[in-house]
Amino acid sequence: MSEFAARERPKRTGGMRTFYTIVLTQTLSIIGSRISGLAIGIWLYNETGNATPLALVAFFGMLPQVLAAGFAGVLADRWDRRYVMALSDGGQAIGTVLLMLSFLSGEFQVWHLYAIAALQSLFGAFQGPAFTSSITMLVPDKQRDRANSIIQLSEPAAGIVAPAIAGFVFALVGVVGTLAVDLLTFLIAFLVILNVHIPRPQKTQDAAEHQRSILADMTTGVRYLWQKRPLFWAVLFLTLLNFLIAGSGVLMTPYILARTGSEAQLGILLSLMNLGALAGGIVMGVWGGTRPRVHGAMIGAIALCILMMTVGLAQSFPALLVAMALVLFPNMFANASFMSIMQAKIAPDMQGRVFATISQGAMLMIPVAYLLAGPLADKVFEPAVQTGVWSVFAPFFGSEAGAGMGMQIFIYAGLALVASLAMYAMPSIRRLEATLPDFAPAAEEEPELVVEVAAV
Helix (H) or strand (E) holding 398: none
Per CATH, 8-199 and 220-437 having the same topology is answered: yes
Domain topology for 8-199: Growth Hormone; Chain: A; (1.20.1250)
Q: Which parts of the chain sit beneath pLDDT 50?
A: 1-13, 445-456
Query: 441 by DSSP, 3-state: which?
Result: coil
pLDDT at 208 (0 to 100): 58
Q: Provide the 8-state DSSP code for 213.
A: -
The CATH number that domain 220-437 falls under is 1.20.1250.20
- The three-class DSSP label of residue 386 is coil
Q: Are 433 and 292 in contact (CB under 8 A)?
A: yes
Is 403 in a helix, a strand, or coil? helix
Query: For residues 443 and 20, what is the distance between their CA atoms, to the nearest angstrom?
Result: 15
| DSSP per position, 239-282 | HHHHHHHHHHHTTHHHHHHHHH--HHHHHHHHHHHHHHHHHHHH
What residue segments make up the domains of the chain, in order of their start? 8-199, 220-437
Q: Is 190 exposed, middle or buried (0-12, 13-18, 19+ CB in 10 A)?
A: buried
Residue 74 burial (C-beta neighbours within 10 Å; 0-12, 13-18, 19+): buried
pTM over 0.85: no
* Residues 263 and 257 sit within 8 Å (Cβ to Cβ): yes
DSSP string spanning 128-158? HHHHHHHHHHHS-GGGHHHHHHHHHTHHHHH
Q: What is the distance of C-alpha 424 from the center of its chain?
A: 23
13 CB burial (10 A radius; 0-12, 13-18, 19+): middle
**Angle at alpha carbon of residue 376, lines to 371 and 377, rounded to 5°:** 110
Sort 411 into a burial class: Cβ within 10 Å, 0-12 / 13-18 / 19+. middle
- Residue 13's pLDDT is 45
- CB atoms near residue 408 (< 10 Å): 23
